[in-house]
Amino acid sequence: MKADLILRVMAKLLIPFIVLFALYVQFHGDFGPGGGFQAGVILAAAVIFYALIFGLADARRVVPESLVEALMAVGVLIYAGVGVAGLLLGGNFLDYFVLDPDPVHGQHRGIFWVEVGVAVTVSGVMLKIFYMFADRGGLEE
Amino acid sequence: MAAAVCVLARTRNLFSAIVLSGIYSFLMATVLVAMDAVDVAMTEASVGAGISTVLLLGALYLCRSEQSKPLRQVWLPLALSVAVGAVLMYGTLGLPEFSDAHAPIHTHVVPRYLKEMPKEVGMPNVVTAVLASYRGYDTLGETTVVFTAGAGVVALLRRKRRQRDAPDAAKGAAR
Amino acid sequence: MNAVGSHMSLGGHFTYFVTVFLMIAGLFIVIARGNLIKKLIGLGIFQTSVYLLYIVPGKLVGGTAPIISPAYTEYTNPLPHVLILTAIVVGVATLALGLALVVRIREAYDTVEEDDILLLDARPGRPAKASSLR
């Protein structure tokens, strides 16, 4: 019970920082190393950490399966949506410079939304795969 | 890293093999930082040493097997691997040397990316800009691949364990 | 350009030797080990050696990471980084699918050793149904 207590306290302290770091890596990907993939994986790792310490049932209440499945698909749709937006606004598919009167700003916007889409899909898929593996064996901890 | 891989090849305990693969991934991430590939190192450390290890441990728990059987005959695969390695090494002798500034890899498209980047995209991280803007199609394909892998795992491992009736069992076993 | 490329000095090609060694180590694990999970680990080692194969030639010794800043003029080639980033994520996707298949094989055949699976397959009749109800 004592060891359990230490783990729970440490997890409660660490998980917010892991989520914050994931968001930092995501939005700072323009200026330093980072970007969508790393951020998605770190976010999924935070939730997996939570599931390992507090049990799968608790994790499912915080991040339900339907949300994870929706995240998986929504990310790809966001990415394709940016491409289609480029089509609708007059350029080719996945053209960013038409998204804004200032082409450089259009690139920024396009890249931002594309990275968000990538991070959402990657975190959703990693989490879903973990849920599937853990669920199959009746993994309780 | 070579030492880690050799021990991994020889060990029979699967749990230690998985831990060694995590160590190998971290060492690979360190080497990548030494090669100035910081984005790749971060991805390799988080994905290779993090998610891969978690998935392997999960699969190990589900398969419930700790020891792998000893190998009876090792000479033929070893000879084959060494032969392939010798051919590959002979092939790499024709490749450019380490840190050769005149190698073709540095001359075609990359100087254009590096020069035009501040004007066209205006963000300092070249890798993200190339990934999302100049090579955006590849990233779209990759996101789709990740999604497909998730969908595939869902299709393979959908929960039907306990009250499984006979037609489902037959369907699941015949897949 | 031709004159520089035809030098056969060993020191310049040492990194290729390391890459090839890791590659054949991964290949050996895939061929020679019977356990399916170990084969997947060996495949992962093979994949990481290919990452090295792409990234190492891109490095310039005087340069720095490809993040543009006014203080540096020489940058390491960012194009392999982009390709390998994609390759890493696709690699973990294939690993996940492979492991899902191994789990299903385990449930159907009750073993993950390749030799046992081939023996079980060679026997007439399907032994799968009995042991898949767990």
Give the H/E segment covering residue B148.
Answer: helix B136-156
Nearest CA in chain A to C87: A37
Q: Do A32 and C67 touch (CB under 8 A)?
A: yes
In eight-state DSSP terms, residue B97 is: P
- The span from the CA of C62 to the CA of C58, in Å, is 12
Domains of chain C: 8-132 (1.10.287.3510)
- The span from the CA of C106 to the CA of B64, in Å, is 9
Does residue C6 register a pLDDT over 50? no
- Closest Cβ opposite residue C103 in set A31, A35, A136: A136
Does residue C127 register a pLDDT over 60? no
Please count the structural domains in chain A. Answer: 1
Query: What is the reported pLDDT for A16?
Result: 92
Nearest to A45 by CA among A129, A132, A140, A116: A129
Name the 3-class secondary structure at C112. Answer: coil
Does residue C7 register a pLDDT over 90? no
Task: Work out the number of other CB atoms within 10 angstroms of the CB of residue A137.
Answer: 16
Nearest CA in chain B to A135: B159
Q: Do B9 and C51 touch (CB under 8 A)?
A: no
Does residue C131 register a pLDDT over 60? no
Residues of chain C contacting residue B52, judged by C-beta atoms under 8 Å apart: 44, 92, 95
Question: Could you tell me if residue C113 is left (phi over 0), alpha (psi between -120 and 50 degrees) or otherwise beta?
Answer: beta
In eight-state DSSP terms, residue C75 is: B
Which pTM does this prediction carry? 0.82
Q: Do A122 and C89 touch (CB under 8 A)?
A: yes
**Rounded to the nearest 5°, which phi and psi values hold at B13?**
-75, 125
Do A102 and A108 meet the contact criterion of CB atoms below 8 Å apart? Answer: no
Q: Is residue A141 part of a domain?
A: no
Name, in order, each residue with C-beta under 8 angstroms of A5's C-beta and a sequence gap of 6 or more.
none
- The span from the CA of A37 to the CA of B40, in Å, is 10
Q: How far apart are the first and last CA of chain C?
A: 65
Give the domain range for residue A33. Answer: 2-136
- Closest Cβ opposite residue A31 in set B47, B121, B125: B125
Residues of chain B contacting residue C89, judged by C-beta atoms under 8 Å apart: 43, 47, 142, 145-146
Name the 3-class secondary structure at B102. Answer: coil
Query: What is the reported pLDDT for B98?
Result: 66
Do C116 and C109 meet the contact criterion of CB atoms below 8 Å apart? Answer: yes
Query: What is the reported pLDDT for C75?
Result: 75
pLDDT tens-digit map of C28-72: 888 877 778 888 888 988 888 888 888 887 777 666 677 777 677
Name, in order, each residue with C-beta under 8 angstroms of C15's C-beta and a sequence gap of 6 or more.
B98, C52, C56
Angle between helices C79-109 and B166-173 (to 10 degrees): 130
Query: What is the reported pLDDT for C60?
Result: 72
CA angle in degrees (0–180, nearest 5) for C40-C90-C111 = 25
- Sketch the domain layout of chain B as residue ranges: 1-67, 106-175
Q: Does C89 touch chain A (CB under 8 A)?
A: yes
Q: Which two tokens stand for residue B113?
A: 């990316």
Does residue A17 register a pLDDT over 90? yes
Name, in order, each residue with C-beta under 8 angstroms of B81's C-beta and a sequence gap of 6 or more.
C24, C25, C27, C28, C31, C32
Name, in order, each residue with C-beta under 8 angstroms of B159's C-beta and a sequence gap of 6 or more.
A135, A136
Catalogue the E-assigned strands of C42-109. Answer: none
Nearest to A139 by CA among B57, B7, C68: B57
Query: What is the reported pLDDT for B164?
Result: 41
Query: What is the reported pLDDT for C126?
Result: 53
Could you read off the pLDDT tens digit of each residue along chain B, which spans 175 residues? 777 777 777 776 778 888 888 888 888 888 888 887 888 888 888 888 888 898 888 888 877 766 666 666 677 778 888 888 888 888 777 776 666 656 666 667 777 777 777 777 777 887 888 888 888 888 888 889 999 998 998 888 876 654 344 444 444 444 4
Q: Do A32 and C89 touch (CB under 8 A)?
A: no
- The span from the CA of B73 to the CA of A44, in Å, is 42
ipTM, two decimals, is 0.84
Q: Does C59 touch chain B (CB under 8 A)?
A: yes
Q: Does C8 touch chain A (CB under 8 A)?
A: no
